[in-house]
Chains A and B, each alone.
Chain A
Amino acid sequence: EVQLVESGGGMVQPGGSLRLSCAASGFTFSTYWMTWVRQAPGKGLEWVGNIKHDGSEKYYVDSVKGRFTISRDNAKNSLYLQMNSLRAEDTAVYYCARYLVRGYGDDFDIWGQGTMVTVSS
């Protein structure tokens, strides 16, 4: 079964750090782009960033550039999101997803269940 499982969420104080993990199974992880998407409570979806299958390219939304870092370990079938200098506005459910690059119209075809991050003092 194709599956993504996030972990690592929790409560952290403003200015703090947190590392999210996403464990992939059921597909050849090393051949796919991956992505992080977040959703603040009661709000819509916001793309956070992408990483190429070999980690050689990464893209981020402006609001997290310089604070968040996406990485992956293909040997462990794992995706990570290192979040530093956290702010209250980073409070959200964070989803990892598989980014299917078709070349003529891409999409996020597989999603994890999400992990909640709360930034509060």
Chain B
Amino acid sequence: DIQLTQSPSCLSASVGDRVTITCRASQGISSYLAWYQQKQGKAPKLLIYTVSTLQSGVPSRFSGSGSGTEFTLTISSLEPEDFATYYCQQLKSYPLTFGGGTKVEIK
């Protein structure tokens, strides 16, 4: 199974901060990496697919990068509505797996 390790598991940031979340895969996953945002009590929402492609309607302050086994999600300037938990996911091989999540809290 491919394990995904997200870091940090939690971070405190202020509105306007640049935030970077890392996702490391236990083996290469090519471009089969997606990022989701989940707000408390709500369903996850797709933000980015194929490592760096922004889903329609997602603000351009979100970006993804990486290759092989190391990937990052960056929020260039944090907005109040961005406080949430973020998950990476690999869809390279079964079982499909998610990272443990990164909770972005208000500082």
Q: Is A1 an interface residue (CB 8 A)?
A: no
Digit string of A91-112 for contact with B (CB within 8 Å is 1, else 0)? 0000100001010111111011
Q: Is the interface of B mostly helix, strand, loop or mixed?
A: loop
Q: Within 8 Å CB of B51, what residues of A? A: 105
Is B55 part of the contact surface with A, judged by Cβ < 8 Å? yes
B5 at the interface (CB under 8 A from A): no
Partner of B44, one of A61, A62, A95, A100: A95
Partner of B32, one of A46, A60, A105: A105
**Which of B43, B46, B94, B95 meets A112, CB within 8 Å?**
B43
Q: List 28 A-B contacts (CB under 8 A).
A: A44-B87, A44-B100, A45-B44, A45-B89, A45-B98, A46-B98, A47-B96, A47-B98, A59-B95, A60-B95, A62-B95, A102-B49, A104-B31, A104-B50, A105-B30, A105-B32, A105-B33, A105-B91, A106-B34, A106-B91, A107-B34, A107-B49, A108-B44, A109-B46, A109-B55, A113-B42, A113-B43, A114-B43
Q: Which residues of B contact A100 (CB under 8 A)?
A: 49
Distance between Cα atoms of A112 and B31 in the complex (Å): 25
Which A residues are in CB contact (< 8 Å) with B65?
Answer: none
Main secondary structure of the interface of A (DSSP, over half): strand
Known: A37-B44, A44-B87, A95-B43. 6 other contacts (CB 8 A): A45-B36, A45-B38, A46-B98, A47-B97, A106-B34, A107-B34
